[in-house]
């Protein structure tokens, strides 16, 4: 490998449902597996620790409402603080394996939960984080919104890495902000919803082509058999989460995946020179941006 080439790993897996400690152990195991197979970067799905909140978020009042609140409390208790001891465990594994890690977590801050991407360097240091700017549908019952400082791209030894969650890929100005920041490696973290299967595919390919970036899609895969019978909202939830993880080049073409209906780590070679070839045709933050006509500002 040259300095411009490395192997990226996209994890498609299920968390150990609502169990932070066991999920972190699984994360450590998957990091080691990715490194063993030559990866320099490993990406995990949205809200992987301790799970994406798949269940109905608002069932009205009375006994069903209590079940929703019970699930919310379990999610909160098994969420992580940033920085904190739980992130340190993952950082130690990253340092030991000499690998960059990007992972989606439920972050607790005071009494509020956030849907957060955590970036960890190969030396185990916490590079930064991104809180989801805008949740969709009933997610608004779970997570608070990020702020301007959550629009970010991070410099690493591998290149400029950024990331978004699922339908943030349709938050058009946020996308352009990251393109303008020079993002080269985009991590797209998804919950794996079956209804979003087609959206995950076309929005990821469009992001790669429009931004001249590599896109690493990491999605949860989970089915009903993975959910303990003790979970009170199991029967009220439609467990349709087939995944769709893969890796896409700056021309909008899959170089690995997409993968559905199973747990798997997807691997692909990232060659940053391909970005220069794509930008020779379309450079969305350069000669294709027309700054003489358009002006863009991030209100930080």
Annotated catalytic residue within 132, 160, 175, 197: 132
Query: DSSP states of 167-221 as a string?
Result: GGGG-HHHHHHHHHTT--EEEEEE---GGGHHHHHHHHHHHHHHHT-EEEEEEB-
pTM of the model: 0.95
Whether the CA torsion 193, 198, 199, 203 is positive or negative: it is positive
Q: How far apart are CA 36 and CA 196, in angstroms?
A: 32
132 given a catalytic annotation:
yes
Q: How far apart are CA 222 and CA 11, in angstroms?
A: 13
Beta sheet of 185-190, edge-to-edge order: 154-155, 160-165, 185-190, 214-219, 243-248, 254-260
pLDDT tens for residues 262-296?
999 999 999 999 999 999 999 999 999 888 898 88
pLDDT of residue 297: 85
pLDDT tens for residues 154-177?
999 999 999 999 999 999 999 999
Query: Both ends of the chain: CA-CA distance in Å?
Result: 38
pLDDT of residue 16: 97
Question: pLDDT in tens for each of the 300 residues of the chain?
Answer: 446 899 999 999 999 999 999 999 999 999 999 999 999 999 999 999 999 999 988 766 666 778 888 899 999 999 999 999 999 999 999 999 999 999 999 999 999 999 999 999 999 999 999 999 988 888 888 999 999 999 999 999 999 999 999 999 999 999 999 999 999 999 999 999 989 999 999 999 999 999 999 999 999 999 999 999 999 899 989 999 999 999 999 999 999 999 999 999 999 999 999 999 999 999 999 999 888 898 888 887
pLDDT of residue 299: 84
Query: DSSP states of 84-138 as a string?
Result: SHHHHHHHHHHHHHT-EEEEEEEEEETTEEEEEEEEE-TTS-EEEEEE-S---GG
Annotated catalytic residue within 20, 26, 35, 46: 46
20 given a catalytic annotation:
no
141 given a catalytic annotation:
no
Classify burial at 22, counting beta carbons within 10 Å of its beta carbon; exposed 0-12, middle 13-18, buried 19 or more. Answer: middle
pLDDT of residue 2: 47
C-alpha dihedral (127, 133, 138, 141), degrees to nearest 10: 80
pLDDT of residue 61: 63
pLDDT of residue 121: 97
Annotated catalytic residue within 35, 97, 166, 197: 166
């Amino acid at each position: 490998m040259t300095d411009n080439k490395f192997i990226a790993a996209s994890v498609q897996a299920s968390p150990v449902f609502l169990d932070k400690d066991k999920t972190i152990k699984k994360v450590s195991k998957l990091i080691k597996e990715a490194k063993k197979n030559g990866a320099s970067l490993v990406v995990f799905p949205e809200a992987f620790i301790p799970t994406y909140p798949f269940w109905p978020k608002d069932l009205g009042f009375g006994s069903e409402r209590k079940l929703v609140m019970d699930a919310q409390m379990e999610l909160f208790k098994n969420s992580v603080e940033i920085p904190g001891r739980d992130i340190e465990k993952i950082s130690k594994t990253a340092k030991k394996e000499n690998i960059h890690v990007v992972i989606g977590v439920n972050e607790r801050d005071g009494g509020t939960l956030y849907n957060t991407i955590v970036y960890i360097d190969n030396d185990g240091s916490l590079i930064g984080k991104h809180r989801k700017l805008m949740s969709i549908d009933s997610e608004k019952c779970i997570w608070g919104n990020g702020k301007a400082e959550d629009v970010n791209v991070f410099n690493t030894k591998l290149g400029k890495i950024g990331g978004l969650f699922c339908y943030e890929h349709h938050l058009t100005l946020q996308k352009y902000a990251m393109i303008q920041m020079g993002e080269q490696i985009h991590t797209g973290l998804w919950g794996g919803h079956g209804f979003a299967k087609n959206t995950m595919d076309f929005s990821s390919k469009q992001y790669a082509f429009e931004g001249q970036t590599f896109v690493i899609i990491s999605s949860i895969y989970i089915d009903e058999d993975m959910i303990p019978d003790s979970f009170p909202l199991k029967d009220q939830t439609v467990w349709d989460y087939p995944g769709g993880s893969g890796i896409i080049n700056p021309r909008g073409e899959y170089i690995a995946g997409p993968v559905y209906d199973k747990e798997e780590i997807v691997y692909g070679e990232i060659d940053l020179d391909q970005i220069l070839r794509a930008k020779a045709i379309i450079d969305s933050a350069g000669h294709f941006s027309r700054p003489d006509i358009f002006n863009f500002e991030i209100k930080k």
